[in-house]
Structure 1
Amino acid sequence: MGKSQVTEEDVNRAVEAVKNTYTKSDSPRLRDSEDLSESGDEEEQLQLSYTNKSFPSFQDSKKMDATEFEEFKRKQHLIETVMVDQLSRAVISAPEQDTRPAPRSHRPGMPRGTNRSLHESKVSTNTTATENLLQRRVRFGARLLTRNGHDAIRELTGFFFHVDGSLTIYEFKQFGKSAKALPFIPRGQYTFARGRRLQEPYTLTDIYPGANLEFKTAGLHSLPDSVRQQKVAVFRVTDVDDVAKSKIILSGVKPSDREKAYARLHMPKSKAELEDRVLMLEIQTFVRKLLKKRGVRTVMGLGHHCRKLDRNNTGLLPRFELEKALLHYHIDLGEGVLASLLAILDEEGTGYLDYPEFLRTVLGEMNEYRKSFVLRAFRKIDAGKQGVVTCSDLKKFYNAAKHPKVKSGQCSEMAVLKSFLDSFQYCEKTEEVTFQVFEEYYEGLSVGVENDEDFANILRNSWNL
């Protein structure tokens, strides 16, 4: 594994390589030279025309403001809870707490060596560690990458403490009218669990939207059983307090140099890591061009196809099955490119791959801003927070009345609703729609939407967000 330092010249070359994606003779190509430029899914196109901005009424605006304020209050409450928790732990575990005042043990009637009660601990320490701990922290949002819908929709918030390079992740839970922040990943110094940077410690520059944080599950007893069954738990960073982060990592850097310094700090750490990223980005750029007019059909079809093959529900499939699945859906990456990709994903050479990770790598993903709207919509439908809803639930919450063609009289509400539900035909037998399937639908739809706000409007209008 190469550890040579990455230069700006290396990055510039990588950018050019992605711009000229697959111009070589061994590049991925459409199977049988299929031309998709005119093909398209009518149901998908109907949903894509939902992007017109909705102008809320005065009452709707008041509701939106109230919702945003409630969300802000929840975040503040969570931050305060976590900081009190971490401060308490820091104070109680401080070395000077073990020092017993001599006069205390010589009081009449008090035997020597008597243990102090918890309330007798000092509320501060002689060092500045606790102060730095609280001040030099960066909050980030996170979510679990998992096939378990209940775990995928958990509300997670993490904190990176720059004073010692430690991090922690808490779960926000609502218990009736009260809310609590419960430890999910205990505070500690963690290292990369896989890949080119195996066993290297996480740093603040590794915390950015879209980054994956991976933790070996052994010894992490606060994780749910469904997560601990896997060797590695993968968390996706969804958002970061960039103000706090920039203040720390750009301390002492001139304002005129900050943009370049920030970019340099977030470069891949080695040329090998850069090459891996370039290969994956090239593949995703190429594939997403193919899926421009058939995103929903292909993404949902591939997901359903892989789950059917996974009879033991392990999340793993043989490499050859995944190769066949891509060809079945007319995605031909070419033998050389596919072999290079499989070597990265199957670094231990087991011959089996985590197929959700494989599909994310090949198909690419919508950004975390878009995913936040998908999560909000599903949480609104899934009142019980089980990670599973029914087709009846979708009908109940889906708002076809706001579709532009319904408003203009070109289409009926029933036709728009049917075009949406037809995409979930694989769920007809069980009547259940998992979060994974719901997310796959919008992953496919997202391919055809260039603008983030247009995509957000599709979710706002159709689910009354």
Structure 2
Amino acid sequence: MTCTARGNRELKAKMEKLKRTAKTPIELLRATCLARGASGIKGLGRTFKIIDDDGSRSIDIKEFRKGIHDYGVIMEPETIQELFDSIDRDHSGAVDFDEFLRALRPPMNNGRRQLIILAFRKLDKTGDGVVTVEDLRNVYNVKNHPKYKSGEWTEDQCLREFLDSFDSPDDKDGKITEDEFINYYAGVSASIDNDAYFDLMMRNAWKL
């Protein structure tokens, strides 16, 4: 179950307003990412992953500026520096971008977080921390998918489409990690104010 078109529209409208009232650089970047929809934070994560040439999963201020720029976020240089400094609390000159993305997630209570993790672990049949088409095969039934029914698509094509809906539009690799799944649902969560509705939605969608 991915964020509906209506849910994404509501989230984008909400975040456009928050962009104008953000009090800190991280609030501004969070709102800017989620103004692109529920996959906004995950998309920024993929951008940083691409520029992390040595695979260290940490970035310096130069790479940080490039990541922000490549994702298409317009921020003043001093604002980017302030944002970087607020994350680089030990003043090492580098930030762990997984920690950065976690800080970027909208505030979310533990009940919502646990539901998201429960859904991910139900999908992750192999328990290796990554959801692939193979994991989905016995979880997601494609028989009612219109393109499967018409014979236009195979089961694997339908499963891949489902997986891609959680992925970043410009960088779909057919794999979803737990962190990426949480980043996505943190965006969905930001569009839903009512805890009971979020709980019901998750339980119905994933049969938890």
- What is the CA-CA distance between 1:414 and the residue it aligns to? 5.1
Determine the structure 2 residue equivalent to 1:114. none
- What is the CA-CA distance between 1:344 and the residue it aligns to? 3.1
**Relative to 1, partners in 2 of residues 1:451 and 1:394: Cα closer, same or farther, differing over 3 Å?**
farther
- What is the CA-CA distance between 1:452 and the residue it aligns to? 2.4
Alignment match of 2:130 (pick from 388, 391, 410)? 388
- What is the CA-CA distance between 1:357 and the residue it aligns to? 1.9
Question: 2 CA distance for matches of 1:436 and 1:289?
Answer: 19
Q: Are the counterparts in 2 of residues 288 and 447 from structure 1 also a CA contact under 8 Å?
A: no
**Relative to 1, partners in 2 of residues 1:328 and 1:437: Cα closer, same or farther, differing over 3 Å?**
same
Alignment match of 1:452 (pick from 191, 195, 203)? 195
**Relative to 1, partners in 2 of residues 1:365 and 1:394: Cα closer, same or farther, differing over 3 Å?**
farther
Q: Percent identity?
A: 27
Alignment partner of 1:351 is 2:96: no
Question: 1 CA distance for matches of 2:189 and 2:40?
Answer: 12
Question: 2 CA distance for matches of 1:453 and 1:439?
Answer: 19
**Relative to 1, partners in 2 of residues 1:48 and 1:332: Cα closer, same or farther, differing over 3 Å?**
same
Alignment match of 1:323 (pick from 42, 65, 73)? 65
**Relative to 1, partners in 2 of residues 1:380 and 1:44: Cα closer, same or farther, differing over 3 Å?**
closer
Question: 1 CA distance for matches of 2:103 and 2:23?
Answer: 9
Q: Are the counterparts in 1 of residues 25 and 83 from structure 2 also a CA contact under 8 Å?
A: no
Question: 1 CA distance for matches of 2:133 and 2:52?
Answer: 24
Alignment match of 1:308 (pick from 47, 50, 58)? 50
- Equivalent positions of 1:40-119 (< 5 A) are 44-46=3-5, 48=7
Alignment match of 2:121 (pick from 370, 373, 379)? 379
- What is the CA-CA distance between 1:47 and the residue it aligns to? 8.2
**Relative to 1, partners in 2 of residues 1:287 and 1:366: Cα closer, same or farther, differing over 3 Å?**
farther
- Equivalent positions of 1:61-460 (< 5 A) are 282-394=24-136, 396-398=138-140, 413=145, 418=161, 421-424=164-167, 426-428=171-173, 431-460=174-203
**Relative to 1, partners in 2 of residues 1:301 and 1:294: Cα closer, same or farther, differing over 3 Å?**
same
1:460 maps to a residue whose letter is R
CA RMSD of aligned residues (A): 3.5
Relative to its length, the structure with more helix (as a share) is: 2
Question: 1 CA distance for matches of 2:96 and 2:36?
Answer: 24
- Corresponding residue SS for 2:165: helix
**Relative to 1, partners in 2 of residues 1:382 and 1:318: Cα closer, same or farther, differing over 3 Å?**
same
**Relative to 1, partners in 2 of residues 1:330 and 1:45: Cα closer, same or farther, differing over 3 Å?**
farther
| Structure having greater relative contact order (Cα 8 Å, sep ≥ 6) | 2
Relative to its length, the structure with more strand (as a share) is: 1
Q: Are the counterparts in 2 of residues 346 and 353 from structure 1 also a CA contact under 8 Å?
A: yes
**Relative to 1, partners in 2 of residues 1:336 and 1:438: Cα closer, same or farther, differing over 3 Å?**
same
Question: 2 CA distance for matches of 1:443 and 1:310?
Answer: 24
- Corresponding residue SS for 1:440: helix
Larger Rg: 1
2:79 maps to a residue whose letter is V
- What is the CA-CA distance between 1:299 and the residue it aligns to? 1.5
Question: 2 CA distance for matches of 1:347 and 1:359?
Answer: 15
- What is the CA-CA distance between 1:374 and the residue it aligns to? 0.9
Query: For residues 189-230 of structure 1, what are the alpha-carbon distances to aligned partners after superposition, in whole Å with 9 as ceiling and x for unaligned?
Result: xxxxxxxxxxxxxxxxxxxxxxxxxxxxxxxxxxxxxxxxxx
2:42 maps to a residue whose letter is M
1:369 maps to a residue whose letter is G
2:4 maps to a residue whose letter is Q
Q: Are the counterparts in 2 of residues 316 and 352 from structure 1 also a CA contact under 8 Å?
A: yes
1:455 maps to a residue whose letter is F
Q: Are the counterparts in 2 of residues 397 and 463 from structure 1 also a CA contact under 8 Å?
A: no
2:197 maps to a residue whose letter is D
Question: 2 CA distance for matches of 1:443 and 1:453?
Answer: 16
